[in-house]
Amino acid sequence: MKTAVYFEEKRKRETEFKIEEDFETLVIDNSKVIFGKKSVYLDAKKLIKSKTLGGAVPDGFLFDLSDKENPEFYIVEAELAKHDFYRHIFPQVTKFLAFFRSEESKTRLVDVVWTAFNEDTNVLADLKTNIGQGEIYKFLKDTIDDSQNILIVIDDELKEFHEIQRTYTDTWDKKVKVIVVKNYGTKKKGVITVMPPFEQIDFIDAPTMEEKDIGEQIKYTEEFHLEGTSQAVKDIYNKIKSEMLESYPNLTINPRKYYISLKDNKNFAFIQIRKKKVRIVVILAENEVKKRIKNKKIKSLTRSVQDFWGGPSCDIIIENPDELSDVIDVIKEAKKKQD
């Protein structure tokens, strides 16, 4: 669906990209706009000369450093929606998914990214500014070890993404994320739209031509979220679940695509599982959480993200199952506030 955009009383026409390289250039030139100021984007095609990643060269490598304690890594593909999905996009992404499955391949990926950073001193300086004085290679290795995502940046909606995610829930549904980026006006003086906003990529699907609740078509499970995680993460989740159900037997545990929600009449907490840690969003003001929790990683959320979750809220990051008692008390307090 076409959208009319008006800026300073002038109508901006949507840019129609004839070739993929022009769209890739838009993404590179506006990476801080699209992915946020705390992102670092590497133009992989410029820096990698051979097909080293599963027989393909990605368009970019992206590090999202908005939460320095929990950085996220993405292999990025910039695509045009007019390209044939099954001949062009599907095989490219499948190669990267296969690449992530091999420990040897992941080690090679770290080396490739390390080399690429060292060939672009400006981007390397940007990375150092965001992560401080830590050892760069170790940072890259730890981040890629913990976070393996594929991000498709595309210029229009495609229903095929959801069709494939329904079929390959353990790969495409878990690791592949999509944002729709459009430009209105000229390439130098354009208005850029991003759907969904990149800061919400962990909890909202990109819009499709068939805007339906995917949760009604795929029944997500707790096992879906816990697969491939550490024993500590499993212990954290199981302890939260058992203690909450012991106190509230009628509590609903509701696995969705990007989180597991705890719900009574309304959602009051959301659990997002990572390989080595658990992120808990509680619907409780940050200052109230900090009064009750000491020596835990508590992350502030932007207003738009808090609005998405449904009210004043913040993140609690847990890595050790032995440090849960005060966290569970906070989750119970969030429930009381929703009653």
99 in helix, strand or coil? helix
CA distance 294 to 137: 32
Pairing of strands 10-12, 5-7: antiparallel
pLDDT for 109-139, tens place per residue? Answer: 899 899 889 888 899 999 999 888 778 999 9
pLDDT for 25-64, tens place per residue? Answer: 999 999 999 999 999 999 988 777 665 666 678 999 999 9
CA distances from 235 to 261, 323, 326 (A): 17, 11, 16
Residue 75 burial class via C-beta count within 10 angstroms: exposed 0-12, middle 13-18, buried 19 and up:
buried
CA distance 223 to 221: 5
High-pLDDT (> 90) share of the chain, %: 48
Q: Which of 34, 29, 18 is nearest to 194 (CA)?
A: 34
Average pLDDT, stretch 255-284?
91
> By the 8 A CB rule, do 36 and 199 touch?
yes
* 234 has pLDDT over 90: yes
Q: Which of 104, 82, 102, 84 is nearest to 92 (CA)?
A: 84
Q: What is the DSSP string of 269-324?
A: EEEEE-SS-EEEEESS-HHHHHHH--SSEEE---HHHHHHHTSS-EEEEE--GGG-
- pLDDT computed for residue 52 by the predictor: 61
What type of residue is 222? E
- pLDDT computed for residue 1 by the predictor: 56
pLDDT for 195-209, tens place per residue? Answer: 988 988 877 766 544
Q: Which of 194, 185, 270, 278 is nearest to 231 (CA)?
A: 278
The per-residue pLDDT of the chain, averaged, comes to 87
Q: Which of 305, 281, 312 is nearest to 196 (CA)?
A: 305
The domain 222-338 having CATH identifier 3.90.180.10: the answer here is no
Q: 98: Cβ–Cβ under 8 A, 6 or more apart, which residues?
A: 54
End-to-end, the C-alpha distance of the chain in Å comes to 41
CA distance 70 to 315: 11
* 307 has pLDDT over 90: no
Q: Of 72 and 100, which is predicted with more confidence?
A: 72
* 215 has pLDDT over 60: no
- pLDDT computed for residue 214 by the predictor: 45
Q: 176: Cβ–Cβ under 8 A, 6 or more apart, which residues?
A: 93, 97, 149, 150, 151, 152, 161, 165
